[in-house]
Chains A and B, each alone.
Chain A
Amino acid sequence: MSRRLESAVLHGMLIAGGIVTLFPLFWMLSASFMSTGEAATLPPHLLPHAATLAQYRQLFVRLNLGRAFFSSAFVAIIVTISSVLFGSMAGYAFAKLRFGGRDRLFGLLLSAVVIPPQVGMLPLFLLMKQLHLVNSYWGAIIPSMATMFGIFLIRQFMLSVPQDLLEAARLDGAGELRIYWSVVMPLARPILATLATFMFMSTWNDFMWPLIILSDQSHYTLPVALANLSGEHVQDIELMMAGAVVTVLPVLLVFLALQRYYIAGLMAGSVKG
């Protein structure tokens, strides 16, 4: 096979794969701009004949999806900030500070990653009920404010911080907390960005726990609101596609902007998708 032909076949397959991969997202976007009923016409329309924002207007004006958008953003942002902060604190301590039982404690934490989160969900719900946090944003936020994944990721990075740097700061008379905040944290910026991107996206996309803990429409995050809406509006294809766009677009844009960091996080060995 000549090199030209080989290249043509290769790129042909790559482009075909790309079309199959992007088609569902393209169709979602296209149908969201159609008028009601147009997505089910024969022969099918791939593009709206007269693009309209009617579906989006209905979502935000009549169905109050803006509220779910706000809920998702609030929950995701608070979880991101706190899990990066607490994860960096614990990750640094495990990597660089000497204290009794450190390695045993870390080993225990490491072995706990195999526990599926669903195992704790029933008692967690009862606990949240006792704390009066059912159907509140905090009920959705608190369990994710520190994650084992975050601690591992940061610890792995911190191991590569030279010990001499810390000793030098100690000789200069800097306190331990000051070293963490002013010496180590600035060095860790790339990994903090990785963790932040990762936590924002996985929290935004999270479904099962918000579904359980947020029992009232006033606090639904976007995935929960969308699942609820799809039960009531099965026939309204175009409306549901607009809802899907509103849900997917923010994470897709965050990914495109920060994919360098996000992919680095995946390579570090996460299991969550």
Chain B
Amino acid sequence: MRSESRAALLLLTPAAIILVVFFFVPVIAGFALSLTDFDLYSIGDIHNTRVVALHNYRELLGSGIFWTAVVNTLYFALAGGPLTVVVSLAAALLVNARLTKYKALFRTVYFAPVVTTLVAVAIVFKYLYHPRFGVLNRVLGALHLPTPDWLGDPHLAMFAIILLAVWKGFGYTMIIFITGLQNIPEELYEAARIDGAAWWQQFRHVTVPMLGPTFLFVGVVVAIGQMQIFAEPYVMTGGGPLNKTLTVVMLMYQQGFKFWRMGYAASVAFILFLLIGAATVLQMKLQERR
């Protein structure tokens, strides 16, 4: 027993040091930082820092740009999340269908965008979205459809970024749905067929109810990930046009690492924490009800 404890201590120490010093302490310090006016002058001399209690939070809640960032982030998560779920469920149904040949090949193809580097594909999409030379508008133009300035139009820019996020992310949730589909007992479908249920009825009355918990899990996992959106607007729009793609994490980055208003930026980070915490609690509450 004693030697087991000693071994455990030894084996846990490296990971514990890294996680405590470089994760847990910074997180706690982040909250403390959000209660100060730490800025560029504080970096020069720490004595230039004052404790301002909740002043940063008050300033934040009264600032228009903060609410713009929150609304943009929620729009991205609440529109992009469900869209990803729909696309990935469709892909999972197609790949997992009984008649499908080369299942592994299609699965790999659909999954490929997930492993690509976000910054690189964001740049690729930026050119695909180009109003004049972009392939997307070339195709739309050939079909005599409108050819908007995807990333330059304030009403469309975030939607264009959502399309990139769906393309990049649906393969991941598709894998989770495929697992869920494979866990549905085949007898249920057989019974439905004997009762004369068509494809759509089987989908509605067998597949959807059996996938219930998976839907919830996928939806919330995706939404939590999407609330941390940063690289796409950083590379594609810089937050514009008219701040329509400015997100919470981007606001934190700009305030903290461009203007060095680190106390203020830390309060932005904690609002993000609260948003994600709320989404997680919501998930657990919904799962309990099932």
Interface, chain A (partner B; CB < 8 A): 3, 6-7, 10-11, 13-14, 17-18, 21-25, 27-28, 31, 39-40, 44, 85-87, 89-90, 92-94, 97-100, 102, 109, 112, 114-127, 129, 142-143, 145-146, 148, 151, 175-177, 180, 201, 204-205, 207-208, 212, 222-224, 226-227, 230, 237, 240-241, 243-244, 247-248, 251-252, 255-256, 259, 262-263, 266-267, 271-273
Contacts and interface: CB of A to CB of B under 8 A. Distances in A.
Contacts of A39: 127, 133
Given A240-B123, A241-B124, A22 B112 contact: yes
B5 A89 contact: no
Interface string B120-137: 110111111000110100
Interface of A is mostly: helix
B269 interface: yes
B57 interface: no
B235 A14 contact: no
Shortest 3 CB-CB contacts between residues of A and residues of B = A176-B7, A120-B26, A123-B29
B16 interface: yes
A90 to B, nearest CB: 4
Interface string B260-290: 0010011001101100110010000000000
Given A14-B106, A27-B124, A119-B270, A89 B15 contact: yes
Contacts of A119: 26-27, 30, 269-270, 272-273
Given A93-B8, A118-B228, A251-B115, A145 B30 contact: no
Nearest to B108: A259
Contacts of B280: 114
A98 B1 contact: yes
Contacts of A208: 230-231, 249, 253
Given A21-B109, A120-B26, A123-B26, A240 B91 contact: no
A87 B225 contact: no
Q: For this complex, into which size category does the number of interface residues on chain B fall?
A: 35 or more
Contacts of B175: 263, 266-267
Interface stretch (B96-104, B186-194, B203-211): B96-104
B10 interface: yes
Interface stretch (B17-25, B143-151, B153-161): B17-25
B11 A146 contact: no
A271 B227 CA distance: 12
A212 B95 CA distance: 40
B19 A118 contact: no
Nearest to B1: A98
A175 B91 CA distance: 51
Contacts of A115: 27, 273
Contact of A252 (B18, B101, B116): B116
Given A7-B99, A24-B124, A123-B25, A207 B231 contact: yes
Contacts of A176: 3-4, 6-7
A223 B118 contact: yes
Given A13-B94, A123-B30, A142-B18, A205 B118 contact: yes
Contacts of A272: 225
A99 B10 CA distance: 12
Interface string B163-180: 000011101100110010
A201 B113 CA distance: 13
A89 B167 contact: no
18 contacts: A17-B106, A17-B110, A21-B109, A31-B127, A39-B133, A89-B15, A90-B11, A90-B15, A119-B272, A120-B29, A121-B269, A122-B30, A123-B30, A124-B22, A148-B19, A208-B231, A226-B123, A273-B172
A42 to B, nearest CB: 8
A185 to B, nearest CB: 12
A44 B112 contact: no
A112 B15 CA distance: 15
Contact of A14 (B95, B179, B253): B95
Contacts of A97: 4-5, 7-8, 11
A143 B124 contact: no
Given A11-B100, A21-B112, A176-B4, A120 B27 contact: yes
Given A230-B235, A244-B121, A92 B33 contact: no
A234 to B, nearest CB: 9
Nearest to B18: A146
A273 B138 CA distance: 31
Chain B CB within 10 Å, residue with most, of A94, A114, A180, A271 = A114
Nearest to B283: A114
A127 B26 contact: yes
A62 B270 CA distance: 43
B65 interface: no
